[in-house]
Amino acid sequence: MPGFEIFGAEEKAQVMEVLDSGVLFRYEFAAQRGDVWKVLEFEKAFAAYTGATHAQAVTSGSAALKVALIALGVGAGDEVITQGFTFVATWEAILDCGAIPVFTEVDMTLNMDPVDLEKKITSKTKAIIPVHMMGAPARIEEIKALADRHNIPVLEDTAQAAGCRLKGKHLGSFGAVGTFSFDSVKTMTTGEGGMCITSDAALWQRMSEYQDHGHDHVPNPGGRGGEGRPFIGFNYRMMEIQGAIGLAQLAKLDGMVEAQQKNKQFFQEAASVLPGVEYREILDPQGDSATFFSFLLPDKERTQAVNAVLREAGVGAVSWSENGWHYYPNWEHLLEGKTPCANGWPFNAHGKRRVIYDPQALPASAALLGRTLTYQVPIKLADEQKVKIAEALKKAV
């Protein structure tokens, strides 16, 4: 990853069609745009690719989470369960809706542990967000079955897993809604941008209207209609240049995944020299988007020692226990309730603290991630870089 590695003539051609039309706004200006509707075309293509009936483009993967949660009816006082190993955007979106994030452990998939999930469900749980971290599936079938028994909708955070499949079915299409990110480090990218997919027409309608300031889209679903406002909304509209780049990148996505799978195999073979090495559990290797390669060593001390050697060689891996953006114990702004709001919202309300998080609350996840090292898998991997990584891993033995 990411998709900018293979930016080329296709992206340029799509963008020039937008610039030649002179219309960057996704709605209206029909007479001026010469029938160029790139965001709408991108939505239709992405829905068809993932097997969903509807797709709603937005400004980012973070916005996609917020739009989906609002469309699901999540609000103040509700609880939303997600996992303690994710990018901060997952729980930021929950807090931004006024709801309370509840965190589960992860298992050897490095995704949500369904056993711990069941312990965290309460009468206040209004949604469950499993995250398909680092391009590989959570136990989404088990999670969905559990959620269905409790009549709780599942929102799949598929930000890092575009192109990933489980038993032939695209991630993001198992739950009520799936969200994707197309930022600059994703497998397919539009610079910034995101997408929500669903096969629930009513849910799509709410997402479509909410991301456009609550603008009435009823006469023309997916586009603007009348001047009514069924509810308040906000502006999360994708612009036409992003839609244009998305169309070119989507056409290349399966080829990107194929290249990443080949390069991931190199990483696994290279790491196999390490005594006691284990690999992250991949539920469907054939469907893996292969954006990351993760391996686990017997204990945290050995993991740190190995990575010290790799760093000295200039090929250090990501050590999640040192990471401040994806690792629960290091989210000091969450744990300490830091907010720019003078009244302490969303951690405080009416002068009282709403929630307090314990940094030691997820010991199983901390133990797993403390002995995990990860490499991002590029689309293009030079032979000299392969040699450098392989030699460093041999030295680390």
Residues with catalytic roles: 186
Q: How far apart are CA 17 and CA 244, in angstroms?
A: 8
Residue 128's DSSP bridge partners are 81, 154
Q: How is residue 316 annotated by DSSP? A: P
Cα separations in angstroms, 93 against 16, 27, 240, 365: 34, 26, 25, 22
Identify whether the C-beta of residue 171 lies closer than 8 Å to the C-beta of residue 137.
Answer: yes
Q: How far apart are CA 374 and CA 101, in angstroms?
A: 26
The H or E element spanning position 232 is: none
Q: How is residue 284 annotated by DSSP? A: -
Residue 191 has a CB neighbour count (10 Å cut-off) of 12
Interhelix angle 240-271/38-50, nearest 10 degrees = 40
Structure tokens at 315: 């090929």
Residue 55's DSSP bridge partners are 197
Backbone angles phi, psi at 33, to 5 degrees: -90, -5
Q: How is residue 60 annotated by DSSP? A: -
